Every structure is written in C-alpha cells, then in structure tokens.
Amino acid sequence: MTSLPSILGGIDPTSDRAVFRQIADQLREAIDRGRFKEGEKLPSEAELVEHYGVSRMTVRNSFSVLQGEGLVHAEHGKGVFVRPRPPVRRLASDRFARRHREQGKSAFIVEADAAGSHPKVDSLEVKEEKASQDISTRLGSVRRVLARRRRYLLDGRPVEFATSYLPLDIARGTQIAEPNPGPGGIYARLEELGHQLDHFEEEIRARMPSPSEVKTLQLASGVPVIHLIRTAFDAAGRAVEVCDTVMAADAYVLSYQLPAN
C-alpha cells in the first residue's frame, strides 16, 4: 500500500468539523479518486490512529460514517473494505425489448449476461390471492390476482426480489401459473395469449430497507433500496401485470434514454 501521508492529509484543529468526520471526508475522497479500489482493505485502526494521532474510537466513528453511506463494509477479524460499485446496468429503453423475449431471455438474464454474472432465481412462490387496494386499482379494479414472488441472485448474491400480480382471467390455467413460465418469461406468455405488450409505466423511489428486506437481500449496514413499481399495458390499453420490485441500491445503476423533444 502507498504510504498514508501521500494518500491522506492531516487534521485541521481550527475546523469546526468534528475530527472523526474530517477523517471520514479524507477516506471518502481517497475512495472516490480510486486510491482505495473496490474490494481493497482500508488502513487498519492502528495505522489510522498512528497517522492522525487520534483514539481508536475516533477512527471507528469515521468508519461508521462510511458504512452508513454504503461506501465500505466491515468483515469481522479482517478489517474494513471498499464496497464494490454497482455491477448491473438496467437500460430502461432496452430491457423489455421484444427481441429478448423472442430469444427466450428474460430481462434479468439479459442484464446478468451483460454484466458477466451468473443469474439465479430462488424463493419462488406462485399463488392466487386477494388483491390489495393499490394493486386492484392499478389493474383496473380486479378482486383477485395471481401473484408470482421470487428472489434474484447474481453470482450467489441476492440483489432484488419482486412480485408480479396478474389478473386471474388472464393467468389462471396458463403456463404463467406454473413455477417455470418458460423461455422469455411471463411477458412472452402474455403475448402468446394475445396481449401484445405496448408500453410500461414505472414509479421509482429510494428509501432505507425494512428489517425483512435487509434479511432477504442480505444488505450491509447503510445500504438503501430502490423500490420500483412497474405496470405493463397491452395494445388495447389494458393493464396486464403489476410488478413490485425491491432492489439493493449498491447492485444497480438505472440507465434511461429520454427524447429531447
């Protein structure tokens, strides 16, 4: 490792900013500049104590700031490491392109292939249930739906979980109601059933995860989630699916192309 004085500065005793925050600022800048790379171990507590002339508690508070921002993660007995940057780019203008379905690929498989990662789906549950008020409204006042719940993993790491809700008059008794809906996923089956997909509407917000989401996605401290609700419409203007998705924010970059006119 390059010597710390060449990477990190010193403490400004005249600053109103707390010492532990000054240290966190310098470590953050070094990470942003690539002086500490993804997966690389940060200087140890002892090294930082010696470099800055501060207590171990001050250094630990600095690490806590960076962990709360999702920049680093601690491994017991090993140290503090720079978290990897998002490996998957979700290109909104391409991920639901019909050519992918015709090739027998779902959007998740397409994105995993682009990232050079191995995709997997687990925790699969398919059942009929009563629609919540929100889902009912989005699907045109339906009372019951087919719900498909699943968790997605990349290279063994959980990155998102999603629930698709479909009107029973469309999905019941079809391959969509099977655990494996076949090549191209449920959108390919919808089109085979005569529901030519026309467009999608998405609502996206970022928030901190619930305890159950932390457990399901195995999230590190301070990592937020991206909550996305997508509605698929067929060529007749009918809403044929609502997908409620929660993604680990450190696993994705959401990429959009927007017209200028």
Q: What residue type is 191 in one-letter code?
A: E
Give yes or no: residues 73 and 13 share one domain: yes
- Final residue before a domain boundary, out of 53, 82, 111: 82
Answer for the pair 207, 249: CB distance below 8 angstroms, yes or no.
no
CATH (domain of 203):
3.40.1410.10
Question: What's residue 108's pLDDT?
Answer: 76
Give yes or no: residues 231 and 192 share one domain: yes
For the stretch 132-136, contacts whose Cβ atoms lie closer than 8 Å and that sit 24 or more positions apart, written own/partner, are 135/165, 135/242, 135/244
Interaxial angle between packed helices 45-52 and 56-68, expressed in degrees from 0 to 180 and rounded to the nearest 10: 120
- Final residue before a domain boundary, out of 27, 62, 82: 82
Question: What's residue 86's pLDDT?
Answer: 62
Give yes or no: residues 118 and 65 share one domain: no
The pTM (predicted TM-score) of the whole model is: 0.74
The reply to whether 247 falls in a domain is yes
Q: Is the pLDDT of residue 241 over 70?
A: yes
pLDDT bin (cut points 50, 70, 90) of residue 156 is confident
Q: Please state which of the ranges 79-93, 163-177, 221-235 shows the lowest mean pLDDT.
A: 79-93
Q: Is the pLDDT of residue 2 over 60?
A: no
Give yes or no: residues 166 and 131 share one domain: yes
The reply to whether 260 falls in a domain is no
Q: Is the pLDDT of residue 74 over 90?
A: no
Give yes or no: residues 76 and 100 share one domain: no
- Final residue before a domain boundary, out of 82, 113, 142: 82
Q: What's the structural domain count of the chain?
A: 2
pLDDT bin (cut points 50, 70, 90) of residue 17 is very high
Question: What's residue 50's pLDDT?
Answer: 93
Give yes or no: residues 35 and 101 share one domain: no
Question: What's residue 109's pLDDT?
Answer: 76
Q: Which two tokens stand for residue 246?
A: 């929660």
Dihedral pair phi/psi, residue 211, rounded to 5° = -55, -40
Give yes or no: residues 181 and 109 share one domain: yes
Question: What's residue 135's pLDDT?
Answer: 97
Give yes or no: residues 64 and 94 share one domain: no
pLDDT digit string, tens, across residues 91-142: 666 666 777 777 767 777 777 777 777 888 998 999 999 999 999 999 999 9
Give yes or no: residues 126 and 23 share one domain: no
Give yes or no: residues 146 and 196 share one domain: yes
Give yes or no: residues 121 and 213 share one domain: yes
pLDDT bin (cut points 50, 70, 90) of residue 87 is low
pLDDT over 70 for what percent of the chain? Answer: 93
The reply to whether 261 falls in a domain is no
Nearest-angstrom CA–CA distance, 237 and 240: 9
Nearest-angstrom CA–CA distance, 25 and 21: 6
What residue numbers bound the domain in which 215 lies? Answer: 89-255
**Mean pLDDT over residues 12-39, rounded?**
92
